[in-house]
Structure 1
Amino acid sequence: MPLHRLRHLVPLGAAAAFLLSGCADQAKKETPEQGAQKTSAPDSGRPWEPDDAMQRAERALDAYDDDGSEPRRADSGSAHIASGVHKTFRAPGKRWYRLDITCDTRGVAELTLTLTRGDAEQIYGIGCGDREADQFNIPPGAPFTARVNAVRNGTGLVLWRLNTVSPGDVDGCDDDIDGCDDGDGDG
């Protein structure tokens, strides 16, 4: 699965911190329809704490604050990895959309993100605990859906921000839902 690491993010408030209160002791088994998740994350030896995890995830979302683009926040949120994410976003206007997404977990190295719009679908791996959030470019148009498979036996959170950016600030593939081959979509 290709991972996309593009540039620029804006601050996310801690409005979803309340979601973290119950995620430390999730103990249900993952079912096959939830998709395979890599669970061999190295143990850092530190206990996983929801408040610390939220701060680390926000720093990952803020990693490219000084890249020169001027994103405008369209939406943001968070979820437990045990619940997963299934969110449909509207994408009107002339500005491109950039989905910035990260995860901070205990024992899960990667989550599966699926982006869909109409019949187009792309699947990506989201690295958990990375210092920089993963970023995905979506052109304006019809609504699109972002889905992160749940990890029923996992402890952790997913944070995302949906920003709009000027077409000239699109870096990398210009449509991560349709997908780009090497050399396509230089933004």
Structure 2
Amino acid sequence: MGLLDILLGRSKPAAPDLDQLFGLPSAAVTLEAATGFRPTGSGAVCFATVEGAAFTQTHREVRALLDADAGREGPPVELTRDDYGYSWLVSRRSPDELPDLVNDLHAVNSAMEADGFGPQLLCSLVGFEGTEGDGDRGRRLALVYLYKRGTFYPFAPLPGRPERRDNALELRVKAALTGDLRMEEDLGRWFPVWGAPGL
């Protein structure tokens, strides 16, 4: 950061810190205690769509890495594309395997970063489902990690209401998890992830 940046009040963007993902298992315990939401076992990494042999090789490496995880059933990761043109690498595990799911997401992000695809990485998310109280049973929620900010925010779509979100629930989740995760303070960066796989 140069002198001109200091004088003009510009700040250096936060560097990605993938180790922040490892805070999710303990945050999930806090989240369940505070709101009744439990992990679904689904998670995903979103990135700007990439074509070409280099990305195909990276995807192969990620699959081989996750295939090496003994005892895993089903495909380690699926590659899908959403209606907005973004690509998602989706991992599904048992709901009680959140630490393993976090390892999967960390491995995918790290492999893409190491192969030069860091600038294309947008976010990672882990899905949660309401289990009790206040009409939350069956409701979906995601904790979204912003790769370029190194922060998390909650995203809670309203069931049966296309492209509407439950801001009150999102703020309640933020308040509950502030001590567990680095939460994104700029609400303008709480981007909706409509149609995200795993949510």
TM-score normalized by structure 2? 0.27
Higher strand share: 1
TM-score normalized by structure 1? 0.28
Higher helix share: 2
Whose radius of gyration is greater, 1 or 2? Answer: 2
